[in-house]
Amino acid sequence: MKALVIEDNKATLQLICEQIRTIGITPIAAETAANGLDLFQSERPDLILLDIIMPDLEGCEVARQIRQLETSGDWTPIFFMLPLSKDKDKDIEMSIAAGGDDFLLKPISEVVLSTKIRAMQRTIQMRQYLLALTRKLDSANQELKRLTSLDGLTGIANRRHFGEVLLREWRRAMRQGEELSIVMCDIDFFKLYNESYGPQSGDERLCQLAQTLTGTMDRGGDLLARYGGEEFVAVLPGTTLNGARFVAEQMRQAISQLAIAHPGTPFAHLTASFGVASAVAMPETDPQDIVAAAELALLKAKNEGRNRVCETSSLDPQDN
């Protein structure tokens, strides 16, 4: 542990440094306020003993500058050393207001100094423990948040996280006047695949398909999520209807090229159908409107024979 002692009287400075050394603390001596501020930045002491009366800069101003130099979350205890005078109560009030944490009256008693420093050491240790505990809790909360946003089977975003991202991107699109697109995907005849090959094989295929769909998305702001069962959904911020249709077609081809055998379908392998919707977010519309439009486009793709991409640019279901 290091203690910075800022005291312009050489004899007092030497005495205090010796007292500190006897209790196992390394002293760092500074005879001027300017030197003390420099040493604070270079040495980063654990504790500061500061004379309230300094020739080049008042002790209260030194304390204020020290507090400004501390980075977020840092705290260095400051003991003000005060003269025993009729104004000591005022000096105590000023020193605490300036950022001080405790005070010592001159001439400083070695017993009082040792006692106060040891008490402050316990405070420092408790604070360090609480900070470490807070970091662990923050890390655990972040991990919990990450886990609750992921689909337990495929490892991609879940429907809940999709809803959060959609709302955030919808509001951003509204502010910026940008277009936003949604791609809905349904794996064709997947229930029949599960019946033919078993649920374990079906789960393995869903994981494979999720990774395949993710691989077709190369923009950082895009999100793929599992919407439910064998359905997936993608949020494409700042993307036009033509751009979203291109992405959906890339997804459709990527799944088809896997050539996963599925003899129970007209295509003899796993395929997927896609519905695409796009709109400019407006105050009178709701993000669920674009989801409903994409679902209608997906239904159209399935009704027209599956393994295809259908689209809509309208958020009014009556227009489809």
* Structural domains in the chain (count): 2
How much is the pLDDT for 277?
96
User: 138-170: b or e for each residue (b if 16 or more CB lie within 10 Å)?
Assistant: eeeeeeeeeeebbbeebebbbeebbbebbeebb
Tell me the pLDDT band of 180, cut-offs 50, 70 and 90.
very high
Distance CA 123, CA 81 (A): 20
Query: What pLDDT, on a 0 to 100 scale, did the predictor assign at position 230?
Result: 96
Cβ density class 242-255: b for 16+ within 10 Å, e for less: eebbebbbbbbebb
Given 7, 169, 179, 230, the catalytic residue: 230
Which helix H or strand E contains 309, and what residues bound it?
Answer: strand 309-312
> In terms of domains, do 107 and 166 share one?
no
pLDDT digits (tens, 9 = 90+) for 142-162: 877 777 899 999 999 999 999
Domain edge (last residue) among 97, 132, 167: 132
Stronger pLDDT, 88 or 272, i.e. the higher one: 272
Is 143 part of the annotated catalytic residue set? no
Same domain, 95 and 228: no
Residue 12 has pLDDT above 70, yes or no: yes
146 inside domain:
no
Of 320, 317, 315, 307, which Cα lies nearest the Cα of 254?
A: 307
pLDDT in tens, 210-269: 999 999 998 888 999 999 999 999 999 999 999 999 999 999 999 999 999 998 889 999
Residues 184 and 104 in one domain: no
The predicted model gives 11-28 an average pLDDT of 93
- Which pLDDT score is estimated for 313? 58
pLDDT band at 318 (very low <50, low <70, confident <90, very high): very low
Q: Do 7 and 73 fall within a single domain?
A: yes
**Do 190 and 123 belong together in one domain?**
no
Q: Is 163 in the same domain as 128?
A: no
Looking up residue 216, the CATH number of its domain turns out to be 3.30.70.270
- Supply the CATH number for residue 34's domain: 3.40.50.2300
Predicted confidence band at 317 (pLDDT cuts at 50, 70, 90)?
Answer: very low
- Give residue 216's domain range: 159-319
pLDDT of residue 320: 43
- Please indicate, yes or no, if residue 270 is contained in any of the structural domains: yes
Q: What is the pLDDT of residues 80-121, one digit of tens each?
A: 999 888 788 898 999 999 999 999 999 988 899 999 988 988
Q: Give pLDDT tens digits for 38-86.
A: 999 999 999 999 999 998 999 999 999 999 999 877 899 999 999 888 7
Does residue 163 share a domain with residue 15? no
Measure the CA angle with vertex 226, ends 292 and 256; round to 5°.
95
Q: Nearest-CA neighbor of 244 among 187, 311, 166?
A: 311
